[in-house]
Structure 1
Amino acid sequence: MPPNPNPTEVRMPHEPTATDDRPLLILVASSYWVLREYILKSVSARYRLWLLNPTPPTWEDPYIVGHTVVDCLDLDKLTAAAREVAREHEVAGVFCYDEVYIEISAQLTAALGLPVLDPDEVARCRDKAATRKALREAGLPQPASTAVSSLEEARAFADRVGYPVILKPRNLGGSLGVRKVERPEDLADAFAVTDGVRMGGIRQFEDYVIVEEFLDGPEISVECVLRDGECTPLIVARKVLGEGPRMAFEEVGHDVDANDPLLTDPVMVETLQRAHEAAGFTNGYTHIEFKLTPDAMHVIEINARLGGGMIPYLGLLTSGVDASLAAADVVAGRAPTIEFPGPLRAASIRFAYPPYDMEITSATARTDLVRPPVHEVRLGTQPGARVRLPPYGLARCGFVIAVGDTLEETRAAVADPDRFFEFAGTPLDEAP
């Protein structure tokens, strides 16, 4: 992703004034400009933000009051930097939306003596095996699954539950390394892919690969905010998955309807409450994923962070609910802002991908095609970027969003995302 629309431009952060009584949040890492700016725009309207980041700020400057460059994966250094900030400012909470840093952010919260987020709760959600165990013990529908450290263990489990099976890393996100294995003879290659995928800075388990029963049905996710154990669903997103062996588990898009009946469905509301109680998650924000089969709503993952893929932004566009602000409120110890001012609409997002693994030499977005119901077309890469398609990498190179009165209208508008983008590049080797 491009770090900044004007990378050579130097901008000073907002200077706090004597009348600026906004509470201060420490923001751990800022991530990609294209996919995250909407979060800072919302949160900075109510909170002063002090950024702790591995690199100096660029695009973040208009939204922060200060920053510290620090290794955000070193808890001692991160804590020391945060305490320096706390010596000069009263810190209301620690805010983080990045998968890589969410667990250490919870540890930082505890080190600063703040009540939210609880590091044990966050760690339990980050660990798919621990989540599965907690949900199963609570009697919630779950696919059969186990964590394994070897191909032999994976094969024994797959033989027991039957093919197809799913392989996934125990604590990664973004569908990295997720594989569907149809036949026993395909297991070894798939296991090697899943076992070999890493995301820098995320702790490793000896039994790193999850093997689980394949469930057939549509996938959804729900954005939830929790305060004192009470779970409130904000957004339901219906996943659109890719096709072909490499893209089969890639979320190539999402559809959000503010009138989605699942938002108020009694079974869904009860399942959300029970799932968070089972995981022991009482205060914070979650992105929880489900597989809907004919017989049950199966909880697949509980992620202790804002949903990716611009899902909170789609919620803002369709109902006016500001999930980013609600997440910031709860870590600041406040009652979360939960408002749906409307009008209630529908939105679809589709992501752009290069046709093959490549080093990008040119990339353009057809912004001239932006007309209702197409709301926005954004480029998310630049020349020099080395892009590998899943399961070896994160390859989203842009997105197109449509907003309308129905999902039929918005889905049709973004049905061919390739027409909004042009990519050229030098092919890379297939293997990572």
Structure 2
Amino acid sequence: MAIRVLILIEGHNSNGPPYVQAAQRLGLHPITISADPTQYEYISAGRIESLRVDTDDLNALIRECSRLCTTYDVVGITCPTETFCVTVGKLCRYFDLPGPIPEYIERCCDKFAQRQLLAAAGVPIPAYRLVASGTDVQSSAAEIGLPVIVKPAVGRGSRGVRLCRTVDEVAEHTTYLLGGKHIWPSSPRILVEEFARGPLYSAHILGSEVIGICAADFGPLPHFVYRQFTFPAVLSDDEHERIADVSLKSLRALGLSWGPTNIELRWTKLGPVVIEVNPRLAGALDSNLVQLAYGVDLAAEHVKLVIGEESDLRRSHSLSAATRILIADRDGTVDSIDGESRAAAVPGVVDVKFEIEPKTSIVMKGDHRDCIGYVMAVSPSHAETEVALQRAVDLMSWSITPFPKLGG
């Protein structure tokens, strides 16, 4: 009998391992196809089979997958990162395998197209304008009313996203985006959006089932760098129902009825407002919280869908889990880190990790790349989890010496 293979298009140092592990537990042999497999530490560390192919070349991927089909029983193709979801959809269509509809994924990843579809379906979203020049950015900001969020129409990880409170900040950030410092995956297009105020939530969905809703919190503005996730969010039954209803309405508007989605919302004075729909699992930290709190392995259930099996989203338990993300507060050189083992010993703490080492150079980006570590805890109640998390964080420390000033 031929070996059953799951093909992963590219990897991800955070989301990649859960997919590999899920495939192995399901009796599958995972093979990662990547333009550079060496960039993923877990592939070499776990001796995971990988192949080097230009993943931006669809025809090259088709040829390589066809070659694998002559040796193996290729039962599914997927990816652990949003960047290649459209490619995966095209490959699944070519090889007649279960997968997302590429056209729907493509328009969802275009934030302007996404907003147009959501608005047409009556989904509550912030006011927005699409612009391509600095002059248009400033006039759009004036129309919407300050403060506004200025961000790329295509992108992820909050790269290039900033809250602008004044006309000068709008001009400054527009210059940054259009002046060559921001890397654009396509032609530069900027979204100017109303700043929706209120608590932030994230709905985790597989197919058309809302698995749970997470509360989230950002670090200091004007950037949007996640500081904490708490799962499940503390909500009334009515609040949970309204967020779930708006989330599912968003999926119907975008034609997303297969696979994982993650929807970010804010609870404003008018109720839930959709900020963004992501046609993928949330980051590994969020997915880990879902598993700790409910016993549902999102990566494994997604892999089941990919290979044509039925997912099982039943909860095996109900706990409270949370992650505190440690964020760099300055540019400079890391002198020391301390307290990881002490934090790990706190009752309720299940994972602690510093992602920096002494002598590392830190240059803050104002996005997810500013994360330098995290602490994760779980307990029977939200209050207990928060206490454990804070105790662990208080036991950890690090120091960063600022870079010498030029001419100093």
**TM-score, with normalisation over the residues of structure 1?**
0.84
Q: Deviations over 1:25-79 (max 9, x none)?
A: 211222215x643443234211331111222465236877632122323323333
For residues 271 and 21 of structure 2, the distance between their equivalents in structure 1, rounded to whole angstroms, comes to 38
The offset of 1:141, in angstroms, is: 0.8
Letter in 2 for 1:223: H
Residue pair 2:19, 2:303 contacting (<8 A) in 1 also: no
- Residue 355 of structure 1 aligns with which residue? 329
For residues 197 and 280 of structure 1, the distance between their equivalents in structure 2, rounded to whole angstroms, comes to 35
1:315 to 290, 301, 305: 290
- Residue 14 of structure 1 aligns with which residue? none
Q: Does 1:211 align with 2:192?
A: yes
Which moved further from structure 2: 395-404 or 109-118?
A: 109-118
1:288 to 259, 263, 286: 263
- Residue 218 of structure 2 aligns with which residue? 241
- Residue 247 of structure 2 aligns with which residue? 272
The offset of 1:255, in angstroms, is: 0.7
- Residue 369 of structure 2 aligns with which residue? 394
Which moved further from structure 2: 288-297 or 359-368?
A: 359-368
For residues 398 and 76 of structure 2, the distance between their equivalents in structure 1, rounded to whole angstroms, comes to 42
Letter in 2 for 1:59: Y
Closer, same or farther: CA 64–301 of 1 in aligned 2, 3 Å:
farther
For residues 198 and 239 of structure 2, the distance between their equivalents in structure 1, rounded to whole angstroms, comes to 21
For residues 333 and 96 of structure 2, the distance between their equivalents in structure 1, rounded to whole angstroms, comes to 45
Gaps of at least 5 residues in structure 1 are: 1-17
Residue pair 2:157, 2:368 contacting (<8 A) in 1 also: no
The offset of 1:410, in angstroms, is: 1.9
1:74 to 48, 57, 75: 57
For the aligned residues, what is the CA RMSD? 2.8
For residues 131 and 59 of structure 2, the distance between their equivalents in structure 1, rounded to whole angstroms, comes to 32
Q: Deviations over 1:248-283 (max 9, x none)?
A: 411112111287556993333322221111001121
Q: Does 1:168 align with 2:151?
A: yes
- Residue 25 of structure 2 aligns with which residue? 45
- Residue 341 of structure 2 aligns with which residue? 367
1:146 to 118, 122, 129: 129
For residues 152 and 390 of structure 2, the distance between their equivalents in structure 1, rounded to whole angstroms, comes to 30
SS of 1:281's partner is coil
Letter in 2 for 1:45: R
**TM-score, with normalisation over the residues of structure 2?**
0.88
Q: Does 1:27 align with 2:14?
A: no
The offset of 1:318, in angstroms, is: 0.8
SS of 1:44's partner is helix
For residues 429 and 70 of structure 1, the distance between their equivalents in structure 2, rounded to whole angstroms, comes to 43
Q: Does 1:410 align with 2:347?
A: no
1:80-119 paired onto structure 2 within 5 Å: 80-119=63-102
For residues 265 and 102 of structure 2, the distance between their equivalents in structure 1, rounded to whole angstroms, comes to 24
The offset of 1:383, in angstroms, is: 5.5
Q: Does 1:126 align with 2:109?
A: yes
The offset of 1:122, in angstroms, is: 0.9
Closer, same or farther: CA 138–380 of 1 in aligned 2, 3 Å:
same
- Residue 166 of structure 2 aligns with which residue? 183
Q: Does 1:422 align with 2:398?
A: yes
For residues 262 and 307 of structure 1, the distance between their equivalents in structure 2, rounded to whole angstroms, comes to 23
Q: Does 1:325 align with 2:300?
A: yes
- Residue 352 of structure 2 aligns with which residue? 377
SS of 2:329's partner is coil
Letter in 1 for 2:313: I
Closer, same or farther: CA 426–52 of 1 in aligned 2, 3 Å:
farther
Closer, same or farther: CA 393–258 of 1 in aligned 2, 3 Å:
closer
Residue pair 2:334, 2:357 contacting (<8 A) in 1 also: yes
Residue pair 2:152, 2:191 contacting (<8 A) in 1 also: yes
Residue pair 1:380, 1:398 contacting (<8 A) in 2 also: yes
Letter in 2 for 1:235: G
SS of 1:414's partner is helix
Gaps of at least 5 residues in structure 2 are: none
Letter in 2 for 1:315: V
Determine which structure has the larger helix proportion and give its number. Answer: 2
Which moved further from structure 2: 144-153 or 369-378?
A: 369-378
Q: Deviations over 1:280-326 (max 9, x none)?
A: 11211111111111212111111111101510100101110111112
For residues 124 and 141 of structure 2, the distance between their equivalents in structure 1, rounded to whole angstroms, comes to 19
SS of 2:385's partner is helix
For residues 262 and 170 of structure 1, the distance between their equivalents in structure 2, rounded to whole angstroms, comes to 34
For residues 182 and 82 of structure 1, the distance between their equivalents in structure 2, rounded to whole angstroms, comes to 50
Identity percentage of aligned residues: 23
For residues 236 and 263 of structure 1, the distance between their equivalents in structure 2, rounded to whole angstroms, comes to 13
- Residue 297 of structure 1 aligns with which residue? 272
SS of 2:327's partner is coil
